[in-house]
Amino acid sequence: MVSSRLIVVFVLPIIFTIVTGSVVMYDILQKPDRELNMWPMSSENSSHGSSHDSTLTIIGLSSQYLISEPIEVQVQVSNSSFSCGDLYLTIHHTGKSDAVSQGGFFNQCFENESNLLPVDDTFSKIIDVPGSYKLTAEMVSKDLQNISTTGIFTVK
């Protein structure tokens, strides 16, 4: 038979933790403008907290590249609320969701004079398969709001 000491030491703390966590989560979700977003990075299927406009611009993207030519781009941010955050650059085939190449640049903060990203780093990738590709640039601020833009290019 299970001793009462075992119940007090192991089972009651688990029950207490579940009940307390549920009460706190319920209270937080009752406040206005709160929601439970389990996947804040996947903004393609969600319109909340996402912006797809001209405040983010891809600089240096050509319309065509050769197989041996590197794709080197920078991103310009013209939205003052995104002065710090994480920058994600993803290349995938046009019409497909599989990523061909990715780059993540974390804690990117810039001054007002130079709003080009990545700061003190470069995004340079070589695509060795001919085809049409889409480059997606996404900037995620520290409060998990994001802006994104895309550009299309071909590799011959």
Same-domain pairing of 59 and 134: yes
Strands (E), the chain: 50-51, 56-59, 64-65, 71-77, 84-93, 99-109, 116-117, 123-125, 131-141, 146-155
Verify that 25 and 99 share a domain, yes or no. no
- Say which CATH number the domain at 101 has: 2.60.40.2550
The pTM score is: 0.62
Query: pLDDT at position 35, please?
Result: 64
How many structural domains does the chain have? 2
Q: Is a pLDDT exceeding 60 seen at residue 51?
A: no
**How far apart are the C-alpha atoms of 68 and 52, rounded to whole Å?**
31
Q: What is the mean pLDDT of residues 20-49?
A: 65
Coil, strand or helix: which one is 60? coil
Q: What's the chain's Rg over C-alpha atoms? A: 22
pLDDT reported for residue 133: 93
Domain presence at residue 12 = yes
pLDDT of residue 21: 92
Mark whether 102 and 129 lie in a shared domain.
Answer: yes
Domain of 5 in residue numbering reads as 1-36
Please indicate, yes or no, whether residues 100 and 132 belong to a single structural domain of this protein.
yes
Distance of alpha carbon 103 from alpha carbon 125, whole angstroms = 9
State mean pLDDT over 69-89: 84
For residue 42, being part of any structural domain is answered with no
> Residues 14, 69: one domain?
no
pLDDT-derived band at 46, boundaries 50, 70, 90? very low
Q: What is the pLDDT of residue 111?
A: 65
135 and 76 fall within a common domain = yes
Question: 53-69, pLDDT tens digit by residue?
Answer: 458 889 999 999 998 89
In terms of domains, do 68 and 99 share one? Answer: yes
Asked if residue 41 belongs to a domain, the reply is: no
pLDDT average, residue stretch 30-50: 54
Looking at the structure, tell me whether residues 63 and 4 fall in a common domain: no
Of 32 and 151, which is predicted with more confidence?
A: 151
Q: What is the mean pLDDT of residues 67-72?
A: 90
In this structure, the answer to whether residues 76 and 30 fall within a common structural domain is no
Tell whether 29 is covered by a domain: yes
Q: Are residues 26 and 54 in the same domain?
A: no
Q: Does the pLDDT of residue 40 top 90, yes or no?
A: no
Would residue 146 count as lying in a domain? yes
Question: Is pLDDT of 52 > 50?
Answer: no
Q: How far apart are CA 59 and CA 119, in angstroms?
A: 14
CA atoms within 13 A on the CB side of 52: 10
Residues 24 and 70 in one domain: no
Whether 87 and 151 map to the same domain: the answer is yes
Quote the pLDDT of residue 33. 67
